[in-house]
Amino acid sequence: MATRTSTKNNSNGVAAITADEAIKPSNGKVISKPASPQRIKVLKTYKNYVGGQFPRTESGRYYALVLKGGEVVNVGLSSRKDFRNSVLIAREAQEKWHGKTALNRSQILYRIAEMLETRTAQFVSELMSQGRTENQAKKEVEASVDRMIYYAGWCDKYNQVFSAVNPVNSSHFNFSSTEPVGVVAAIAPQENGLIGLVSVIAPIIASGNTCIILAASTLPLCAVTFGEVLNSSDLPGGVVNILTGDVAELLPHFSNHMDVNAVYISTNDKELIKLVETNAAINVKRARTENEIDWMDAGVESPYRIMDFLEVKTTWHPIGI
């Protein structure tokens, strides 16, 4: 239970940092008073989700986040090394994930939605602890479940929409079909804690890509909890790897890694887009950049977001005896 109704406890002299403020290291923890005098609550450690496990950042670094109500959580400040380890794991997982049948991937994405739905209360309370009203939080979680179901349904359909049998002017059978681009490094939308994350991950993994995604820096709690959802939904470890940390620090590494096939960011910061697109050229990475958008709007749902992370493969074979 992440939400507290207790008063701000600043008795140890640590200034309160709200979830909306910038990342700052803290010198200590502010532990709010337990809600019930009978029992001390067990607080959750927020860790990365990598390779189906929950490791701490190898760097040992953290940033402190003060939740609404005063509780302070220490969030891992992931390093370049964490990212590079995640890429190895994502690469390892990619072929196997793509090798699953489209129906199987569809059912696993649907299972993610089921797990998300059953944890609605937890996500709502986390979003509220990070400054959302109850109504906003509920809507965001519901939209996230629906978004996941939307893309679950596409897993075994998009290839029919985007493929073609090509009537070539010779005696050959020729068809173009899509394949996942491979390993995708993505920055989750920074404006919200869950709906943006889910909306970016779902179309990437629907086709058989694996990804490393950096959670929203100031709203990281749901990303970590979403890792728990993934972990209990038959999604193989390594398909989605979630790191917490600082965008400015990790973006150069996300965009210039030689074994990443595509990089994604949505931001209104032109310099960040330029950085990503420049670095992407090092290995002709596919850079997918866009301005911030309203992820709550169902209009963002599109199979073309799946297509953004696909390659078209054309196969020829002679016709004859």
Using CB under 8 A, list all residues that contact other proteins: 161, 164, 166-170, 172, 174, 176, 181, 261, 270-271, 273-278, 280-284, 286-287, 302-304, 311-318
Q: How far apart are CA 321 and CA 307, in angstroms?
A: 36
Total Cβ atoms within 10 A of residue 229: 25
Residue type for position 105:
R
Least Å distance between CB 182 and other proteins? 8
Least Å distance between CB 91 and other proteins? 12
Tell me the two tokens of residue 1: 């239970």
Handedness of CA 3, 202, 23, 42 (dihedral sign): positive
Least Å distance between CB 19 and other proteins? 30
Residue 71's SS3 state is coil
Least Å distance between CB 273 and other proteins? 6
Nearer to other proteins, 128 or 260 (CB): 260
Q: How far apart are CA 309 and CA 162, in angstroms?
A: 12
Nearer to other proteins, 18 or 176 (CB): 176
Q: How far apart are CA 206 and CA 184, in angstroms?
A: 12
Nearer to other proteins, 118 or 283 (CB): 283
14 touches 62 (CB < 8 A): no
Sheet of 210-214, strands arranged across: 240-243, 210-214, 183-187, 262-266, 286-290
198 touches 148 (CB < 8 A): yes
Least Å distance between CB 315 and other proteins? 5
Residue 305's SS3 state is helix
Nearer to other proteins, 36 or 170 (CB): 170
Residue 296's SS3 state is coil
Least Å distance between CB 59 and other proteins? 29
Segment (H or E) for 89: helix 80-99
Nearer to other proteins, 5 or 166 (CB): 166
Least Å distance between CB 82 and other proteins? 25
Nearer to other proteins, 27 or 170 (CB): 170
Degrees, nearest 5: CA angle 186-190-195: 80
Nearer to other proteins, 70 or 182 (CB): 182
